[in-house]
Structure 1
Amino acid sequence: MLLKFAIRDFLDDREFKNVTPKTLQSYHDILKQFEDFCLENEVVNVQDITASLMKQYILYYQKKGNNATTTNSKLQRVRAFLNYMVECEVIKDNPSKKIPKAREDIRIDVFTDYHIKQMLNYYRRIKQREKSFYAYRDYSIIVVLLGTGLRQSELCSLKWSDIDFQYQTLSVFGKNRKRESIPVTEKVIMELSAYKIFCEQVFARRGLSEYVFTNTYNKPMTPNAVQNVFKRLAKIMNFKDVRLSSHTFRHTFCQRCIQSGMSTFAVQRLMRHSSIVVTERYAAMWGNDLKEQNDRFNPLNTIDI
């Protein structure tokens, strides 16, 4: 079977299975790159893809600068495509199944109190001086991300109707198209309440958008727009020791919850991890000292002996 037709068939299958647009685009980009590499090596049929060719593909792009995370992402996407070819009986075995994942350096960026204060103070100064829409919006974005641990996609899809101001909860449309309700603190609710009033004033003629975070045209922000907000802020802040991104805010939320003594189960629910194994990995990295935990929670603490 010709590779280009096989890839097209696979992408149609992923779309039929209702994967997210972001995932579908990832499959498209990586498989297009893989197809081009195969053609350059005179491989046009799926049946001619070998383990050796797969290794050449991985090594070629590692030499061009792909890190371990990018390498593993590409391997995962191509492996899924070849598994599909096995299911369709185009090939008998997946030539990529014995290729090990690249070892990733485990380093997760988080913000310190200094980083957070610097960012918020910057926007406070602009709000007081210029009262610009961008300053109010971006300040609110930071508060919401720090106070909820929302993913970037969840932030962009957040609607005013998802917020229960009375009972202080958010309805989040998260990964795998799953909607979940999470509690939020009073500080986040107060910030969102003030921001809503501000937006009602700014967009009085057009009417308030159903989406919480919008651009100046009252259209919902895209993930790319949020990334650009943090790229601009990163140049201004010039932090040398941390990456300024929406995911760093999520990691910071998770770290603070764990280090404050919150249970792993509670952290999993707030972070909406699909598996508690993921949460436990973070807990092992950031968890409180074992002796400190034992001293605090040992059953003998409440028994007179």
Structure 2
Amino acid sequence: MLFKFALTEFKADREYRNVSDRTLTAYMNQLNEFHQYCVNHDVVNLEDCTASFIKQYLLHCKEKGNNPTTVNTKLHILKIFFNYFETEMEVFTPKTNPTKRIIFAKEEIKIEVFSDAHIKQMLRYYQSLKYRDKSLYAYRDYFMIIFLLGSACRIGETANLRWKDVDLVNQIITVNGKKRIASSIPMSDKLKAEFLEYRLFIDQHFPTMPEMVFTNRDGKPLTDNAIKCIFKHLKAIMNFKDVRLSGHTFRHTAAHRMLIAGADVGTIQKMLRHSNVSMTLRYFSLWGTALAEQNEKFNALNSFDL
């Protein structure tokens, strides 16, 4: 089968399965990149993709500067792609599927978080813009930082948040997470106060209230990439040397603050909406000092006179 026809077949199958636009875009961007690599190396048929060839491609990605996490993400998508042509299309067998025995690279687990100084510096920057310009960007981006810290939402969940998903009376936010699973998370009193102020600004700024919470100046929804660009711009301005400024760092920071405050693993798992507790436990293993403090406070031996 020609690789370009395989791409069309796979895309049609994912559309039939009703995967999200975000997921489909990620799949096709990666597969198109791999296809271009194949063309550059005179590989045009799907069956000519061997395990050795795919490993060469992954090594090429690493040499280009991709870190182990990015390389593993690319391998994960390739495995989904080739598994489809094994199980559904029978182009391959379990023995001939070239990705079957390729293992994932070991990743260096490092989760960075913002300090109080980082957060205050970012908020002060947007506060000065709010008072000076009173622009949508200043109010929106200021509130977005507070929202991310107060909700631990992912970038995709933030982009998809609608005003009808925000219950300011009962202080509940409904987010649509991975695999289109809707979840409800509580809204703190501080976050509610910020929501009310931001909503008042939006109501006065637009002739009609936009459907989405975070929009551009025309009231149209922000894409995931648009939000990433906001933080890319902020990164250049802040120029932090000791932490990566990204949307996901706010999520890590929210988890870190909950852990430090004494939240248990079940609470943090629910707030972060992890389907598997193993991801939540990664936070506990990384921030052992906080865990040690909680252990010292609540250890079973404390009640015994030893």
TM-score by length of 2: 0.93
User: Retained in 1: the 8 A contact 2:112–2:244?
Assistant: yes
SS at 1:106 equivalent: coil
- Kindly provide the amino acid, as one letter, of the partner of residue 185 in structure 1: S
> In 2, distance between residues paired with 1:278 and 1:134?
34
Moved more, 206-215 or 40-49: 40-49
Partner of 1:70: 70
Shift of 1:37: 2.1
Instruction: Provide closer, same or farther for how the CA distance between residues 304 and 100 of structure 1 changes in structure 2, counting only shifts above 3 A.
Output: closer
- Select which of 104, 117, 120 maps to 1:117: 120
Instruction: Provide closer, same or farther for how the CA distance between residues 80 and 297 of structure 1 changes in structure 2, counting only shifts above 3 A.
Output: same
Partner of 2:297: 296
> In 2, distance between residues paired with 1:290 and 1:170?
29
Shift of 1:43: 2.3
* Identity rate, percent: 48
Partner of 1:158: 161
TM-superposition CA deviations, 1:131-157 (whole Å, max 9, x none) = 222111111111100111111111111
SS at 1:66 equivalent: coil
> In 1, distance between residues paired with 2:62 and 2:296?
48
- Unaligned stretches of 5+ residues in structure 2: none
TM-superposition CA deviations, 1:268-294 (whole Å, max 9, x none) = 000001111110111111244555333
> In 2, distance between residues paired with 1:72 and 1:294?
35
Are 2:211 and 1:231 aligned?
A: no
- Select which of 181, 187, 190 maps to 1:187: 190
User: Retained in 2: the 8 A contact 1:258–1:288?
Assistant: no
User: Retained in 2: the 8 A contact 1:46–1:91?
Assistant: no
User: Retained in 2: the 8 A contact 1:259–1:287?
Assistant: no
SS at 2:234 equivalent: helix
Partner of 1:57: 57
TM-score by length of 1: 0.94
Shift of 1:175: 0.9
Shift of 1:263: 0.7
1:77-156 equivalent positions in 2, closer than 5 A: 77-87=77-87, 88-92=89-93, 93-156=96-159
Shift of 1:299: 4.0
Partner of 2:21: 21
- Unaligned stretches of 5+ residues in structure 1: none
Q: Count the aligned residue pairs.
A: 303
Partner of 1:284: 285
